Amino acid sequence: MTDNLHLWAIPLLPLAGAAINGLFGRHFKNRVVSTVALFFTAMSFGWAAWAVKTAWPGGGMTLPHIETLGTWIYAGKFSVPFGFYLDQLSMIMVLVVTGVGFLIHIYSVGYMAHEGGYYRFFAYLNLFMFFMLTLILANNYLLMFVGWEGVGLASYLLIGFFFLKDSAANAGKKAFIVNRIGDFAFLIGMFLIIQHWGSLNYDVVFKAVSPISPEAGWGLLTAIALCLMFGATGKSAQVPLYVWLPDAMEGPTPVSALIHAATMVTAGIYMIARSNAIFSRAPHALEVVAIIGCITAIFAATMGLAQTDIKRVLAYSTVSQLGYMFLACGVAAYSAAIFHLMTHAFFKALLFLGAGSVIHAVGGEQDMRRMGGLRKLIPRTFWVITIATIAIAGIPPFAGFFSKDEILGQVFASTHGGKILWAVGLLTAGLTSFYMFRLWFMTFFGELKLGSVDAGEEAHKASAPAHAGHGAASHSHGHADDHSHGHGGVHESPWIMIAPLMVLALLSIIGGWVGIPGSMGGHNEIGNFLKPVMTASVSTEHAGETAGLQERQTEEPKENNSEELMLAAISVGVALIGFYFAWLLYYKRPELPDKITAKIHGIYLLVLHKYYVDEGYSQLIIKPLLALSTVVLWKGVDQAVIDGMVNGAGSASKGIGGELRRIQSGNIRSYAAWVAIGGAAVIAYMIYIGVAK
């Protein structure tokens, strides 16, 4: 067995693909472009699978497995290496990213077949894979930050892929800028780590942290944890920085699936789980994480209720599910968070790709009110979305049930206000089930209303800007002209799109079986697998409150089986209630929703307008900032002070020179006078000195 896994190849293979397609793709045929992109992604997946298999625990290789290629930054005692880090956590992440990424690449070949900029799309997609894998495999925070910023760049490029559309370009900028706010906090956190432990390498930092008890390191650890957490709220779209993710749906659908559902947005969760040694020693920061996750989960779920754009429903659902993962991190149930991250990657990628298939089928339409009855027209898409919907709703034995149940169980057992958080989480589960089945019924049942514009006036006005964008989207989609009229135009997607969906559907069914808890006759394999990563850094001598949490997380629960089963039953019941209401409102009596919204008009409007958060940010932050920049910084500081100084220096020397040149008159007698005056001045000075003596 070799000790060198050449982990660098995993991120660099997609980079090679990106370079080839990005530099020369313009001259390639589409088939060549997709072959290159798929080849390098598949190679990366294969390499990752081989590396994981070789380094699998119990195979004689020590974990974490660190490979250092060289020094990147070297300044005094501080140095940052180019190093890669493979442990149980990065194993799962790398497989999810390369695996799901590969499937989405396949899907994109079909989905993007008629789009312009084909090579550009695949170059960006491969570039994203490179940065994401760097983020995951880095062995220090700074290299992780490179990946972190890089995926932000790729995300920006791909959201703004249809850059001729203003809304897409703006959404890209919004995503980038909002992420910068979080990144700033991440940087501060890194600086604090450097200041106190002199290194950013995971092994060094976690080793330095491990002897610190939560009480001793209170202020510092809490500060670092909060900074890192704020960084994560940006990338993982949590309150208060979640606003970019719904807008990011302007990107092509495979991008939404890959970047804004399955992989990139989970980077924050990964970072927190990776830093569990720090977070576990900062209980107050953990509480903040839990509360933010909880608020995000419920907040986004309610916003998802009123959306009519199929992709936006999924976007809010993603925010909500990320909130779940945050919540899990917040109660130190990192394994549960990673478990949910994995299952979520499967079913949410499936949902997005399925939605893409639906949009593809109906010729670019994204408004669910104009869909309906698609069940018989696109049966394969219908079935895969059905599986994903059941999975996300949390109905056993699909993947989402086990991971969500694991999180809710951990939250319930948590000592930090666990019951309230649990209740909110449960309510969110019900809402999730409701809006997902609402999507399901609206899209696949009833009658196809394509082309008719009979949707509620009010709602229509509210989402008018979004619609403008979608109009443009349908044009750029290429199918709009051929297929937008009549039922006959609706067509099932080609096999190259359906096949990845089927693989993901399979994963959405069985993906959760690796984490069946003990109470249901399983062994919670994923929890045990991740145990070394999540607990290795917690020293036993400080078995305080947080260490207790850790143990509870990974221990096989034996004595409270019945309680666990009851909790599971409750969450399934809530999911079924959500299903029932969705069935009632959107299938059985489709006239009811209008009546209800008419009754609670105010609340409905509030939810429809997403609680006016964007408007609030605009009024409270963006406008004052713009005013400050324009009036004070631009016209005040820049134009008046800085330009004033520069221009002043110029005009001052010009003026002084203009005056001084009169001395050099060219007139001999005036020179003579100056000589005489100078001489007189010297004499006067000498006399003065003589007198003074």
Partner 1 sequence: MVPLSWYLILSAVLFCLGVLGFLLKRNIITIFMSIELMLNAVNLSFVAFANYWNARGGLLPSGKAVVGLSGHVFVFFVMVVAAAEAAVGLAIIIAVFRTRETLNVDRVNLLKL
* List of residues 6+ apart from 675 with CB closer than 8 A: none
Cα 83 to Cα 10, 50, 66, 106: the distances in Å are 13, 19, 7, 30
In this chain, which stretch among 163-171, 292-300, 533-541, 669-677 interacts with partner 1, using CB under 8 A? Answer: 669-677
156 with 176: CB under 8 angstroms?
Answer: yes
Which of 673, 681, 686, 687 touches partner 1 by CB under 8 A? 673
In this chain, which stretch among 368-376, 482-490, 542-550, 658-666 interacts with partner 1, using CB under 8 A? Answer: 658-666
Query: Closest approach of Cβ 661 to partner 1, in Å?
Result: 7
In 445-479, alpha helices (H): 457-462, 464-476
Which of 561, 618, 630, 665 touches partner 1 by CB under 8 A? 665
Of the pair 71, 665, the CB lying nearest partner 1 is at 665
Burial of 396 (0-12, 13-18, 19+ CB in 10 A): middle
Cα 171 to Cα 151, 341, 557: the distances in Å are 16, 25, 46
In this chain, which stretch among 216-224, 413-421, 561-569, 657-665 interacts with partner 1, using CB under 8 A? Answer: 657-665
Collapsing DSSP to helix, strand or coil, 188 comes out as helix
Which of 58, 70, 488, 666 touches partner 1 by CB under 8 A? 666
Restricting to residues 34-93, name those near partner 1 by CB under 8 A: none
Site mask for partner 1 (CB under 8 A), range 123-142, x = bound: --------------------
In this chain, which stretch among 60-68, 232-240, 495-503, 671-679 interacts with partner 1, using CB under 8 A? Answer: 671-679
In this chain, which stretch among 232-240, 314-322, 421-429, 664-672 interacts with partner 1, using CB under 8 A? Answer: 664-672
Q: Please count the residues of this chain forming the interface with partner 1, following the rule CB under 8 A.
A: 11
* List of residues 6+ apart from 679 with CB closer than 8 A: none
In this chain, which stretch among 70-78, 430-438, 565-573, 660-668 interacts with partner 1, using CB under 8 A? Answer: 660-668
Which of 23, 603, 627, 676 touches partner 1 by CB under 8 A? 676
Of the pair 461, 669, the CB lying nearest partner 1 is at 669
Of the pair 558, 662, the CB lying nearest partner 1 is at 662
Collapsing DSSP to helix, strand or coil, 367 comes out as strand
663 is a site residue for partner 1 (CB under 8 A)? no
Of the pair 77, 693, the CB lying nearest partner 1 is at 693
* List of residues 6+ apart from 683 with CB closer than 8 A: none
Of the pair 457, 659, the CB lying nearest partner 1 is at 659
Query: Closest approach of Cβ 680 to partner 1, in Å?
Result: 9
Which of 2, 62, 562, 667 touches partner 1 by CB under 8 A? 667
C-alpha–C-alpha distance, residues 267 and 691, integer Å: 83
C-alpha–C-alpha distance, residues 505 and 385, integer Å: 8
Which of 31, 461, 558, 661 touches partner 1 by CB under 8 A? 661
82 with 143: CB under 8 angstroms?
Answer: yes
Burial of 40 (0-12, 13-18, 19+ CB in 10 A): buried
C-alpha–C-alpha distance, residues 84 and 127, integer Å: 18
Query: Closest approach of Cβ 650 to partner 1, in Å?
Result: 22
C-alpha–C-alpha distance, residues 448 and 443, integer Å: 9
Which of 672, 681, 684, 687 touches partner 1 by CB under 8 A? 672
Site mask for partner 1 (CB under 8 A), range 604-643, x = bound: ----------------------------------------
Question: Using CA of residue 564, residue 566, residue 568, residue 571, what is the dihedral sign?
Answer: negative
Of the pair 2, 667, the CB lying nearest partner 1 is at 667
> Can you read off the two tokens belonging to residue 601?
């008009």
Query: Closest approach of Cβ 663 to partner 1, in Å?
Result: 11
In this chain, which stretch among 411-419, 459-467, 516-524, 663-671 interacts with partner 1, using CB under 8 A? Answer: 663-671
Query: Closest approach of Cβ 656 to partner 1, in Å?
Result: 16
Collapsing DSSP to helix, strand or coil, 82 comes out as strand
> Can you read off the two tokens belonging to residue 231?
């960084």
DSSP conformational letter for 628: I
Of the pair 627, 676, the CB lying nearest partner 1 is at 676
31 is a site residue for partner 1 (CB under 8 A)? no
Which of 27, 31, 669, 693 touches partner 1 by CB under 8 A? 669
Of the pair 4, 667, the CB lying nearest partner 1 is at 667
Query: Closest approach of Cβ 687 to partner 1, in Å?
Result: 13
Burial of 531 (0-12, 13-18, 19+ CB in 10 A): middle
A 10 A CB-CB count for 676 gives 10
User: 451 — alpha (psi -120 to 50), left (phi > 0) or beta?
Assistant: left
DSSP conformational letter for 305: H
668 is a site residue for partner 1 (CB under 8 A)? yes
Task: Enumerate binding residues for partner 1 (CB under 8 A).
Answer: 661-662, 664-669, 672-673, 676
